[in-house]
Structure 1
Amino acid sequence: MKTYDDPELQAIAVKLASDDPGIRRVGVLDLVDSGEPEAVELLLLALRDSDTAVRQEAAKVVDEFEAEDMADALIAALGDNDEVVRNAAAHALADLKDPAVAEPLLEALDSSSDGFVVAGILRALKPLRHPGSQRPALKRLGDTDPVVRREAVGVIGWLKQPENLPALVETAQHDEDPEVRRAATGALVYASPQQVGQALIGLLTDDHWQVRCEAANSIGKLDHQAALPALMDATRDELWQVREKAVDALGKLGSAQAIPVLGECSQDAMSNLRKAAIGALGTIGHSDGLPFVQSAMDDPDPDVRKLARWAMSKLDNAA
C-alpha cells in the first residue's frame, strides 16, 4: 500500500485497504471531504474494488473530482458487471460537461460495441458539442439498439449543424422505435420552418402519441404558421395529451383563425385541455376569444378560473 504524507489521506488509504468492504465504503465517503489532489488515486482504486457496493459508492462521488482525471475510469466503469455501477458511471460522465474529456470519450466510442457503453458515452458527449462527435453519432443512427440511436439523436441535435437535418428527418419519420422518433422530432427545433416544417406537419399524424405531442411542441417553438390547419386538426386527436400540445402550439402561433377551435377546447371535459385553451386565448389576445374566456370565469376548476382572469387582463389590454 502506498503511503501518503497527509495524515488524513493516509487514514483513508488504510480504510480502503481493509479486508472489510464496509470499512472500504466509509473510506470512499471520506475521500470526498479530503480535498487532496492525491485522493483521485484512491478513488480510482475504489472504482476497481472487488466489492460491488464499494464500486457503487465510488461511482456516485466521482463528480466531486477533476473530470480529466476521472474520465478513463468512468468509461471503464460503464462496462462493470453491476448495473448500479454502470448507471452511476453513465450519470457521472454525463454530469462532467468538461471539454477535456471529449477526446478520451471519442476514442472509447470508436472502439466499443457494447450498447450500454456506447449510449453512456454519447450521453456524455452531447453537452460538449464537440465537432468530432458528429461522424460517430450519425453512424450510430443505424445501430440496432434503440437506446443508442436515441442518444445519437441527442448528440446530433445539440451540434445544430444544417447538414445533419436530412438524417434527423429520416429518423423522425421512419425509425421503428417511437422514443427515437420522438427524440428526433424534438431535435429538429434548431432548423427553420422552411427546412423541416412539412416533416413536422406529417409527424402530427404519427402512429405514436408521444411523437405527435413532440411534433406539435416543435411546431410551436418554430412558429411555423403554415402548420395552422394541421394543428387545428390535431386539437381533435384521440388523446388529450396531443390535443393539449396542439392547443399550446396554436397559442404560440398567435393566429385569431384558431379561436373557434380553441373555444371548443375551452369547454372540454378534460380540465388540462381547458387550461391550455384559455392560456392560448389569452396569449393570442384577440377580442373574439372574449366569450370563451368569460365563460371560463365560472369553471369548476380553480386553475382554469385563475387562467381566465389572466386571459381577461390580456384581452382588456388589447382592447
Structure 2
Amino acid sequence: MSEPFEAFGDVEDLAADLASPDATVRRLAVMALAETSDWQAVPHLVAAIADAAPEVREQAARALGEFDGRAVGEALARAVTDSVAAVAAAAAESLAELRDADAGGALLALVAHPSPFVRTAILRGLKALQIEASLQPAITALSDVEPAVRVQAVGVIGYLKRQETLPALIGAARDGSAEVRLAAVKALSFADQSAEAAAAVSAALKDAAWEVRAAAAETLGRLGVSSASPALVAALADELWQVRQKALQSLGRLRAREALPAIIVLLGDDNPSLRKDAAATLGEIADPASREALATRAQDADPDVRKTVAWALGRL
C-alpha cells in the first residue's frame, strides 16, 4: 500500500512552492504539505509560521494542528502571539490539539504572557498535555483577572487529578464567574469519596446559574458520597428540569433509598424525560417499596417511559 503523502506529491517538491513570490501559491503549498500527513513536512510548516503574509501564517498554524512534538509546540507558541488576530486564533485552536508532553516547554514559557488571549490559549493547550510542571502555574492562574484564563487553569488542574489540589478547586467553585464555577464543579468529579469536595459541590446546587446547579447534581453522583443525598433530594424541586434530571440520575448512582418518596413524585411529572429518569432511578435503587408506584406508570403515554418502567419492575 502506498504512503499517504504519495497521492499528494513529494514533500520536497511541494515545499519548493514556499519560495514563490506569490502568497497564494505559498498558502496552497502549506495546504498541500498538510494533506500529505508526512512528518517530513513539519520543518517546512514550521518555517511557514514566519512567512511575511498573514494568510500563509494562518494556514501554517492550522496545518500544524495535524502534527505534534516539540518543534510544533514551539512554532505554535510563536504563532499564538502573532499580531494578526486570525493567525493567533488558528494557533490557539491547534495548540488545543497537542498531545505530546515534549511540546510543553514552549507553552510553559508563556503562561504569564501579558495578553489574556495568549494566557488562555496556552493553558488550554497545557490541559491535555497533563504535565506536572503545569500544575503550579495553573494554580497561580486561578487568581488571574480574566475569567477565561481562570477557566482554563481549572481545566489544567482538573486533568492532573491531584488530591492536594482539592482546596484550590473548591475555592474556584466559589469564583465570581459562573463559567469558572462550572469548570471547577466539573473538575471536582475526580475526588472520589471526598467529603470536602461533596460539601462544596452540594453548596453549588444553590448556585444562581442553572448550568452550575446541573453540573453539581451530576458531580455528586460521581463522587459517591452518600451524605450528599439530602442535597440532591432538595434539588429535585429545582425550577429547571435539567437540574432535576441530573439529581435523579445521581440519586440512582448513590442507591439513595431515603429519596424514594421524592423520586416517586416525579413519576407523575409532565415532562416524559423526567418520568423516564425517575423510573430508571427507582430501578437502580431497586427497593420493593417502589413497586406499586412504578406499576401505576406501566401504561404511560410515552413508550420510553413504559419501557423504562418495565425494566425497573424487573429489577425489583
Say yes or no: TM over 0.5. yes
Give the Cα separation in 2 of the matches to 1:269 and 1:20: 64
TM-aligned CA distance change 1:22 to 1:225, over 3 Å: same
What pairs with 1:162-201 in structure 2 (closer than 5 Å)? 162-173=163-174, 175-191=175-191, 192-201=193-202
**Which amino acid in the other structure matches residue 189 of structure 1?**
S
Give the Cα separation in 2 of the matches to 1:195 and 1:55: 48
**Which amino acid in the other structure matches residue 29 of structure 2?**
G
**Which amino acid in the other structure matches residue 277 of structure 1?**
A
Task: After superposition, give the CA deviation of every residue in 1:192-250 in whole Å (9 maximum; x if it has no partner).
Answer: 33232222221111121111111111111111111111111110011111111111111
Residues 46 and 71 in structure 2, CA contact (< 8 A), matched pair in contact too: no
Aligned-pair RMSD on alpha carbons? Answer: 2.0
Shifted more, 142-151 versus 273-282: the winner is: 273-282
Give the Cα separation in 1 of the matches to 2:89 and 2:298: 48
User: Which residue does 1:3 correspond to in 2?
Assistant: none
TM-aligned CA distance change 1:295 to 1:164, over 3 Å: same
User: Matched residue of 2:253: which SS?
Assistant: helix
Give the Cα separation in 2 of the matches to 1:288 and 1:87: 57
Residues 264 and 278 in structure 2, CA contact (< 8 A), matched pair in contact too: yes
User: Which residue does 1:27 correspond to in 2?
Assistant: 29
Percent sequence identity over aligned pairs: 39
User: Which residue does 2:312 correspond to in 1?
Assistant: 311
User: Which residue does 1:294 correspond to in 2?
Assistant: 295
CA offset at residue 311 of structure 1? 1.9
CA offset at residue 45 of structure 1? 2.8
TM-aligned CA distance change 1:36 to 1:281, over 3 Å: closer
**Which amino acid in the other structure matches residue 102 of structure 2?**
A
What pairs with 1:197-216 in structure 2 (closer than 5 Å)? 197-216=198-217
Give the Cα separation in 2 of the matches to 1:37 and 1:171: 40
TM-aligned CA distance change 1:34 to 1:196, over 3 Å: closer
Shifted more, 302-311 versus 78-87: the winner is: 78-87
CA offset at residue 53 of structure 1? 3.4
- Is 1:42 the counterpart of 2:51 in the alignment? no
CA offset at residue 144 of structure 1? 1.0
Give the Cα separation in 2 of the matches to 1:280 and 1:87: 44
- Is 1:226 the counterpart of 2:250 in the alignment? no
User: Which residue does 1:88 correspond to in 2?
Assistant: 90
Give the Cα separation in 2 of the matches to 1:219 and 1:71: 37
User: Which residue does 2:117 correspond to in 1?
Assistant: 116
- Is 1:103 the counterpart of 2:105 in the alignment? yes
Structure 2 portions without partners, runs of 5+: 1-8
Residues 98 and 128 in structure 2, CA contact (< 8 A), matched pair in contact too: no
TM-score, normalised to structure 2's length?
A: 0.89
Task: After superposition, give the CA deviation of every residue in 1:94-140 in whole Å (9 maximum; x if it has no partner).
Answer: 22111111222112224x12111111111111122222112111111
Give the Cα separation in 1 of the matches to 2:261 and 2:37: 63
TM-score, normalised to structure 1's length?
A: 0.89
Give the Cα separation in 1 of the matches to 2:199 and 2:15: 61
**Which amino acid in the other structure matches residue 258 of structure 1?**
A
Give the Cα separation in 1 of the matches to 2:304 and 2:89: 39
User: Which residue does 2:256 correspond to in 1?
Assistant: 255
- Is 1:56 the counterpart of 2:58 in the alignment? yes
Give the Cα separation in 2 of the matches to 1:159 and 1:177: 22
CA offset at residue 83 of structure 1? 4.1
**Which amino acid in the other structure matches residue 179 of structure 2?**
E
Give the Cα separation in 2 of the matches to 1:233 and 1:66: 47
**Which amino acid in the other structure matches residue 59 of structure 1?**
A
Structure 1 portions without partners, runs of 5+: 1-6
Give the Cα separation in 1 of the matches to 2:256 and 2:68: 51
Shifted more, 267-276 versus 191-200: the winner is: 191-200
What pairs with 1:261-280 in structure 2 (closer than 5 Å)? 261-280=262-281
User: Matched residue of 1:204: which SS?
Assistant: helix
